[in-house]
Structures are given as C-alpha cells and as structure tokens.
Structure 1
Amino acid sequence: MSENDKYATPLSSRYASVEMSQIFSLRNRFSTWRKLWLNLAIAERQVGLKDVITDEALEQMKAHLEITDAEIAAASVEEAKVRHDVMAHVHVFGETCPAAAGIIHLGATSCYVTDNADLIFLRDAYDVLIPKLVNVINRLSEFAIEYKDLPVLGWTHFQPAQLTTVGKRATLWIQELLWDLRNMLRARNDLGLRGVKGTTGTQASFLSLFHGDHDMVEALDAKVVELMGFEHVYPVTGQTYSRKIDVDVLAPLASLGATAHKFATDVRLLANLKEMEEPFEKSQIGSSAMAYKRNPMRCERVCSLARHLGGLFNDAVQTASVQWFERTLDDSAIRRVTLPSAFLTADIVLSTMLNITSGLVVYPKVIERRIMAELPFMATENIIMAMVSKGESRQVCHEEIRVLSHQASDVVKQQGGDNDLIERIKKTPYFKPVHDELDSLLDPSTFVGRAPQQVEKFVANDVAKALAPFAHYINKDEVKLSV
C-alpha cells in the first residue's frame, strides 16, 4: 500500500504551512517528550538526586533528543504490544540511552509529557499565527489609506444606503482583526506549563522521591518550568491540566474565523457587484465550463474553513464540561483531532487572507457608475436646502422633487432605465435657481462625512499602537498559495 492509498487530511497535505504542520508532527511531538524527560532529569539532579542521575545518563539523553524515523517505527511496534504510547517511547528512549534507562520518566505520570508537550505546541502555534495576523492587518491598513477618499455606495440590509469610502469599509475589517490580535495575544501569554504534578495532581510521587521534603518538590516544579522556557506553572491540576485552558486557547481562533468569514463574504459580494476582486493570476481558471468567469475562490476557501474553525471550538467546550474529578480519558482522542485541526485551519485562513490582501483589485469606474445610479435620490435633501436658501418654500420644493423622484424611480424599476432624476430637475423651470449648482450638490465626496479623517486617525492611532510591538514581523513578502 502506498501513501496514495491512505487518507491524509487536506489541512496538512494540501493547505497548511510547513511551520504549522511541523509543530504537530510526530517527530516534534516525540522529540518534545524527550526534552521534557531530559529537563526533568536535570531538575531532579539539581534539586537533590545527584547520586541517582549520572552525568552519563544526561549526556546520552542530550545526544538523542531528536527522535529518528527508526525510533518512531520501533515505538509504534512497542505500543502495539503494551497499548500505551508514553511507555512505548520510554522503552525506546531507554534502549537508545542505556545509561538513562532507569531514570527516564522518574516520578512522572504520562501527562507530564503529553500535557506539557501540548501546552508547548499551543504556544508555538500561536507564535506562527500572530505574525501572519499582524501582516494581514498591516496590508489592509495600507489598502485603507490608499482608498480613504474613494467614495463608494454603502449598504445596509444589502440595500443602498449613504455613501462611505472604500478605505473606511476596510477599517471595519481591520478593527475586528485588531480584536482578534488582542485575544490571541492574551491566550498565548496566559499559557503556563502543567509542570510536575503526579498522577492526581498531588505530587505524591515526587514527595516520596525527595523523602517528604516539600520545598524540594516545589523547587523541582519551578526548575522544570524554567528549563522549558515558560514563565509560570499552573498551581493546581488534576492528572491533566484543566481542559478549560483549551477553551480559552480555541476561543480566539473561533472568533478569528468569524472575522475572516465576514471579510471574505464582503469581498465575494463586492466581486459580484464588480466593484472589487481578490487577486486573479494570469493562468488561473475560474470555471471549467465558463471561460469568462473570475470566481472568488480564495475568499470561498476562507469562508469554508472559517466555518470549520468555529465548529471546533464547541469540541473544547464540551470536552471541558465532562471531565470527571481528577480526569477521564474521553478527552484524549478528541483533543488529538481538535487542537491540531484548529491551528492548522487558522493558519490556512490567515495565509489565504495574506494572499488576498496583498492584491485586492478595485474598480473605481464601476463604483462611480453605481454611486451615480443612487446619488440623485440621496441628493434630494441637499437640493431642497439649496432651493430654500434661494427663498423657496421647503414644502413646495419637497412636493416638486417628490413627484420627479417617483417618475425617475419608475424609469429604473419598471422600465429598466437609468436614474434620470437630475435630468428631470434640469428640465423643470421651478428648479432653475439651482441648475448651476447641481454638479457641486452631486459631488460624491461631499456625501462621505468624516470617512477619510476616520481612516487616517484609526490607522495612525489604533493600528499603529497595536502593531508597534511587532514591527519586526512586518514584511512585503509575496504569499503564494500552493493550490
């Protein structure tokens, strides 16, 4: 049987980045276990077990931290016999490091390696996502500034509303992404290590190991955390770290999914209106049957995966709610699926958004044509006010323009013609006092309120402040999607 005869998740085989896939790879998982065993041994020796843990044992462990393909295969064979993944790897690591065979995993329970490793992976995975999110925000901010003054028809209920600008609309996307950045940073920085807690979290095995010395056990816990590069350890655990932590970790990813879905949906709708499109490569095929089509395939991918990302959050919530007492094993299988899937999916969503935001295409002439189809109706109040300033009655003017508006609306809706309200006004003698002012009264830039100023202030203040700590992440790199 070849690899082509086995199912492989598209998250890793088709879409996700190499960096994210490696974090959740078997080699990284088992190599991280070995680092945890080494640092446990180092800490135990420093705290008081110098006679038990030898220099030779530590040197052998250090020399074989990265597990080989042959060792992974050997552990798989061993696991089939003992039905326990951690003990299979203890056995194989011991064969590789015979001087350490008797002290590997000393005093620990399986969750020492499995849970601590998971917490490391979650932190490292956020370290892949956050730079990508920073660059999405930065590129959209540059887009917002570029188009801060370009008037565009606003929509409420997907019905024509007052004008805004293309740049102002982009700030709505950016603001939600800034909240996602805040949430992801909070989740990432809140992560601690489970540390050394024993089988039910009481540290009984370590207390026995150090002959009842509580200070030594606490020192051991702190030392392992320090050696693994974490700033804090969870003060109490059961056998596992609380699965509530998974809820806190996945919540920002689900929220990012909502933001991404909204952004991509807006771009898809704008593509239908022919006002804006995602990048379209020269050789790209939009449809196998309709050669003229430019389907928003990247945005559709974002929407598709964002829905999946939101659904994974429920796995974490439900799992946290059913953990009995100190632990139950019904969390194991689902977490093996949910945690990697969530980060791989978020990685793909952000990579795709990076690609999209690097080359959004705007069509000003289409935008202008749609504005001019609706603007005459929006300008009626301005025209009425201009007539009043010339001494005309507001009520009389309102009735005159109401009649003409309904006639123009009939042309648009019943006859399929263009909005000819302004032409009707120009031909109506009553409105002669403002005929020379109609062009200025219909200038789209006078209908966008403070949109340009809002964009400038938002990007200069809110965005700049949020991205300042991550200036070293910002780049202009082209983001190619494999498929």
Structure 2
Amino acid sequence: EDINNTSHALQLRAGRDQVVLPSLDRIVLKLREMAHLYADVPMLSRTHGQTASPTTVGKEMANVVMRLQAAVERIAAVKIMGKMNGAVGNYNAHLAAWPDFDWEAFSRKVVETHEPEGLGLTFQPYSIQIEPHDYMAELFDAVARANTILIDLARDIWGYVSLGYFKQKLKAGEIGSSTMPHKVNPIDFENAEGNLGLANALLRHLSEKLPVSRWQRDLTDSTVLRNIGVALGYSVLAYTSLQAGLGKLELNEQALAEDLDAAWEVLAEPIQTVMRRYGVQGAYEKLKEVTRGQRVTPEALHGLIRSLDIPQGEKDRLLAMTPANYIGKAAELARRA
C-alpha cells in the first residue's frame, strides 16, 4: 500500500495539474472575454421564468467567471497526500528490520522532497493500512462543485439559445439537426450537461466511499479507485464540449433589444422605489393597477409618473428610464470580473 497510495497520489496530481485545471482555466478565460465584450449589452432577466429587472449579457457571464474561479482555486488548493508507514501505519516491519533508524523522518523526506529526489507530496503521518483518502474526497468534491457550476452554465446558455439571444456558428458540412434543416441544436451544451452529470455521480460516490474502510483495511476502496480516471475523464470531455460550444456562439442583439422593449413592466420596480422614498401613499397598489394582468406600455407608465407628487427632477429621471438602460451596476461589475 505504500506504493499504491503514492502512485494514486502522483496520478491525481498530474491529472489535476496537467489536464483538469488547464481545461477549467480555458473556460474561465473564454467566459471572462465574453463578460468584458458584452458588458454593456442589456438583457432581460428572468426570475421564476418571468420578466425581471434587466442585467447585461456580460454581467451574467461574469457571475459564472467569479463562481468558477473560486471553484478552480479550491481544486488547486487540495493537498495531495502520501504515506509510507507500513501495513497498519505504525512502522512495525520497518523497526523490526532496523530498530535504531528514524523511519518516520525518512518516510517524510521521501514523500515531501520535490522530484526527482522525492515524490513532492504532502506527508500523511497517521493512517491505517491505507492512506485515509480524505484528500481525495476533498478533491473530488471540489471538482464536482466546479462541474455543478458548469451544469448551471450549460442549461442557461441552452435557454438563451432557445430564446434567440445567441445564434450558433456552423462549421462547413456540419449538420444542425438530423431531420429539420432549419435548426442548429445546442448539442455541445447538451453533451456537456450529460457528461458533467455522469462525472458528478462518480465523483460523489468516490468522495463518500473512499474515506470509509472497515477497521485497519478492507478492499472496497480498491475496486472504487479504478474509476478515478473515468470520473475525471467524463469531466474533461464535458469541458471540451463546453469550450467548443462557447466558441460557436454569436450574440443576437436584435432579439435581446426586442425582448427588452416588450417588457416595460420591469420599470415598476424603480418607480415604486422612488414613490416609497418620497412617501407616496399606496405606491404598490397604484403600480398594480397599471401593470398586473395587462400589457404595460411606456405611455401608461409615463402617465403615472407625471401624476406623482414627487420632485420634478425625479420625474424626469424616471421618464428617461427604459428597460434597456435600467441595468444598475451590471456593466461595471462585468468589466471588473
């Protein structure tokens, strides 16, 4: 086991540092590029599937950048551990062979010294026959959290494609739909979502199972460990699909603008807020009469604004608002990501 646990650790370190993290870094880089490029492009938000206060396309990409960057840092921060302390973690055979030698110090040196003289891992001083696998659970949970963020992204982009906010570039000879020539299916995001789900199912089982071993050892971890590459492989396959899908997206600013122009009801929020600021009685009820259960027009909102007993400067500010410019600090936040 002193060989097995260190070999698994070296494989995991290489897989994380050379494959998983670079793949995630490329996605973060692409999303950050989109956040900055589309920082000023207004977009209608939807909460509970209904129209809500506008945002910008860039700000929505920035949200994912910040979440994913934090998840990547957690993956990178996991200490990859190794042990070299014998059959039950007490150096029994080591001391039987040479009782006067400091085996613990020697083992620590072999495990922690950087390659090529040593393994360059973090030394695990306390274990049973097997390394406890707590670091593996931490690593797999961290990867699963990143994957969950990317599932969220894949579903959101899928929805934006459905709404027409994004178009997808086709490569020459590529088929958009097997039966309907007019369609370009968002297959990269669907493939990513499916593979991320498979990856997380395995990663979560690995993180729950591996730290559990009966007494000083059983073999249940041995068969499970053989699937580490499968779990990470599904993850990397999904990252590749996402990267490809993001590279095919083209923003449809006309569709975004049309959606915003058909949603003047979202300005009920700032109007109500200003009314409450100046103590206008029945602010909520007045706006409900104008907005609920009917198509809200700019004319109806402007008529209400002009009738309000608030300073003229505030009226002018509200009259200048449109769904497209009511975006708060969205553009600034997008550029900051």
**TM (normalized to structure 1)?**
0.60
Asked if residue 261 in structure 1 is aligned to residue 151 in structure 2, the reply is yes
Question: How far, CA to CA, are the matches of 2:213 and 2:41 in structure 1?
Answer: 54
Question: How far, CA to CA, are the matches of 1:456 and 1:445 in structure 2?
Answer: 18
The answer to whether the 8 A contact 1:243-1:316 is kept is no
Work out which of the residue numbers 185, 188, 200 in structure 2 matches 1:310: 200
Give 1:290 shift. 1.0
Question: How far, CA to CA, are the matches of 1:261 and 1:357 in structure 2?
Answer: 14
Partner of 2:120: 230
The answer to whether the 8 A contact 2:199-2:234 is kept is yes
Secondary structure at the aligned position of 1:266 is classed as helix
Asked if residue 206 in structure 1 is aligned to residue 94 in structure 2, the reply is yes
Asked if residue 219 in structure 1 is aligned to residue 106 in structure 2, the reply is yes
Partner of 1:373: 262
Asked if residue 112 in structure 1 is aligned to residue 28 in structure 2, the reply is no
Query: Whose helix proportion is higher, 1 or 2?
Result: 1
Work out which of the residue numbers 297, 320, 331 in structure 2 matches 1:452: 331
Matches within 5 A, 1:325-404: 325-337=215-227, 339-375=228-264, 377-379=265-267
**Count of matched residue pairs:** 324
Unaligned runs of 5+ in 1: 1-110, 388-393, 413-418, 460-483
Asked if residue 422 in structure 1 is aligned to residue 311 in structure 2, the reply is no
Q: Residue type of the partner of 1:326?
A: Q
The answer to whether the 8 A contact 1:270-1:277 is kept is no
Change (3 A) 1:277 1:299: farther
Deviations 1:117-139 (A, max 9, x none): 10100100111211221221111
Q: Residue type of the partner of 2:328?
A: G
Asked if residue 250 in structure 1 is aligned to residue 148 in structure 2, the reply is no
Q: Residue type of the partner of 1:149?
A: D
Q: Residue type of the partner of 2:70?
A: W
Identity within the alignment, % = 20
Give 1:308 shift. 1.4
**TM (normalized to structure 2)?**
0.84
Q: Residue type of the partner of 2:263?
A: E
Q: Residue type of the partner of 1:193?
A: G
Change (3 A) 1:263 1:396: closer
Work out which of the residue numbers 10, 14, 20 in structure 2 matches 1:129: 20
Q: Which has the larger radius of gyration?
A: 1
Deviations 1:134-157 (A, max 9, x none): 221111111111111111101111
Asked if residue 287 in structure 1 is aligned to residue 287 in structure 2, the reply is no
Work out which of the residue numbers 298, 320, 332 in structure 2 matches 1:441: 320
Partner of 1:142: 33
CA-atom RMSD in angstroms: 3.3
Change (3 A) 1:149 1:230: same
Change (3 A) 1:161 1:401: closer
Change (3 A) 1:404 1:217: closer
Matches within 5 A, 1:67-216: 111-127=1-17, 128-187=19-78, 190-194=79-83, 196-209=84-97, 211-215=98-102
Partner of 1:239: 129
Give 1:303 shift. 1.0
Matches within 5 A, 1:32-47: none
Question: How far, CA to CA, are the matches of 1:308 and 1:425 in structure 2?
Answer: 49
Matches within 5 A, 1:56-75: none
Unaligned runs of 5+ in 2: none
Question: How far, CA to CA, are the matches of 2:177 and 2:119 in structure 1?
Answer: 50
- The structure, 1 or 2, with the larger RCO (C-alpha pairs under 8 Å, 6+ apart) is 2
Q: Residue type of the partner of 2:326?
A: F
Give 1:350 shift. 2.0
